A and B are shown apart, each in its own frame.
Chain A
Amino acid sequence: MKKFDKERVLLAVAGPVLALAVAFVLTAIVLLASGKNPVEPFTIMFEQASFSDIQVRIVNQASLYYIAALAVAIGFRMNLFNIGVDGQYLLGAMMAAIVGAHMDLPAFLQVPLLMLTAICTGAFWAGIVGVLKVTRGVSEVVASIMLNAIATSIIGYLWLPNVFGVKVGNNNTTGEMAESGWVPGIDMGAAGEIYGLVLLAVALGVGYWVVINRTRFGFDLRASGASETAAAASGVDPKRMILTAMLISGGVAGLAGLPILLGDTHTYSLNFPTGIGFLGIGIALLGRNSPVGIAFASLLWAWLDKASPELDFHGYDKEIAVIMQGLIVLSVVVSYETVREWGLRRQQRRVGAELAAGNVLGADNNVKKEVAGR
Chain B
Amino acid sequence: MRRISKLTRVAVGVASLALAATACGGTSSESGNGGDGESKGTKGLAIAYDIGGKGDQSFNDAAYAGLQKAEKEFGYKTADIEPTEGETDADKQQRLVSLAKQGYNPVIGVGYAYATAVKEAAEQYPDTTFGIVDDSTVQLKNVADLVFSEEQASYLAGVAAAKSTKTNVVGFVGGVDIPLIHKFQAGFEQGVKDTNSKAKVLTQYLTQTAEEGGFSSPDKGKSAAEGQIEKKADVVYAAAGLSGQGVIEAAAANKVWAIGVDSDQYKQEALAKYKDSILTSAMKDVAKAVYNLAKSVEDGKPETGIVRGDLKSGEVGLAVSNPTFKDDTKLQEALETAKEKIISGEIKVKTS
Residues of A within 8 A of B (CB): 1-5, 8, 47-48, 50-62, 152-153, 155-156, 167-172, 186, 188, 190-192, 194, 198, 202, 205-206, 209, 213, 260, 264-265, 270-271, 273-276, 279, 290-292, 295-296, 299, 305-306, 308-310, 312-315, 318, 321-322
Contacts and interface: CB of A to CB of B under 8 A. Distances in A.
A55 B20 contact: yes
A321 B87 CA distance: 14
Contact of A291 (B13, B87, B89): B13
B35 A57 contact: no
A51 B35 CA distance: 16
B14 interface: yes
Interface string B58-102: 000000000000000000000101101111111110110010001
B23 A55 contact: yes
B210 A270 contact: yes
B8 interface: yes
B327 to A, nearest CB: 36
Q: Tell me what chain A mostly uses at the interface: helix, strand, loop, or mixed.
A: helix
Interface stretch (B174-182, B189-197, B222-230, B295-303): B174-182
11 contacts: A3-B5, A156-B177, A170-B135, A171-B137, A205-B13, A260-B88, A270-B178, A271-B88, A275-B85, A296-B13, A322-B84
Contact of A292 (B13, B87, B89): B13
B151 interface: no
A5 B5 contact: yes
B268 interface: no
A50 B25 contact: yes
B113 A53 contact: no
Contacts of B336: none
A271 B86 contact: no
A62 B17 CA distance: 10
Given A50-B25, A53-B94, 8 more contacts: A3-B8, A55-B24, A60-B88, A192-B90, A264-B90, A270-B113, A290-B9, A318-B82
Contacts of A172: 178-179
B330 interface: no
Given A5-B2, A59-B21, A170-B178, A152 B209 contact: yes
Contacts of A3: 1, 4-5, 8
Given A190-B27, A275-B86, A169 B16 contact: no
B115 A299 contact: no
B35 A314 contact: yes
Given A54-B28, A260-B88, A292-B10, A169 B112 contact: yes
Centre residue among A56, A167, A169 by max chain B CB count within 10 A: A169
A267 B93 CA distance: 17
A264 B89 contact: yes
A65 to B, nearest CB: 10
B23 A52 contact: yes
A69 to B, nearest CB: 13
Nearest to A304: B84
Contacts of A5: 2, 5
Nearest to B133: A170
Nearest to A63: B17
Interface in B17-51: 17, 20-21, 23-31, 33, 35-36
Given A53-B29, A270-B178, A299-B20, A169 B137 contact: yes
Interface residues of B, number: 61
The 7 closest A-B pairs by CB, nearest first: A292-B13, A52-B23, A51-B28, A170-B112, A169-B137, A53-B27, A156-B208
A279 B86 contact: yes
A228 B6 CA distance: 26
A48 to B, nearest CB: 7
Nearest to A44: B33
B24 A52 contact: yes
A264 B92 CA distance: 14
A272 to B, nearest CB: 8
A215 to B, nearest CB: 14
A233 B92 CA distance: 54
Interface in B307-336: none
Interface in B163-199: 177-180
A264 B79 CA distance: 29
B25 A169 contact: no
Given A1-B1, A52-B26, A171 B179 contact: yes
Nearest to B28: A51
Nearest to A48: B28
A167 to B, nearest CB: 6
B123 interface: no
Contacts of B137: 168-169, 171
A207 to B, nearest CB: 11
Contacts of A48: 28
Contacts of A313: 35-36, 79, 98, 102
B292 interface: no
Nearest to A260: B88
A186 B88 contact: no
Given A156-B208, A276-B86, A318-B84, A52 B25 contact: yes
B340 interface: no
B116 interface: yes
Contacts of B33: 47
A156 B208 CA distance: 6
B91 A315 contact: no
Given A274-B209, A299-B20, A170 B180 contact: yes
A47 B1 CA distance: 40
A260 B89 CA distance: 10
Contacts of A314: 35-36
Nearest to A51: B28
Contacts of A276: 86
A264 B89 CA distance: 9
B94 A198 contact: no
A339 B12 CA distance: 23
A146 to B, nearest CB: 14
B329 to A, nearest CB: 37
A265 B89 contact: yes
B209 A4 contact: no
Contacts of B211: 274-275
Contacts of A308: 84
B90 A310 contact: no
Interface string B137-179: 1000000000000000000000000000000000000000111
Contacts of B249: none
B264 interface: no
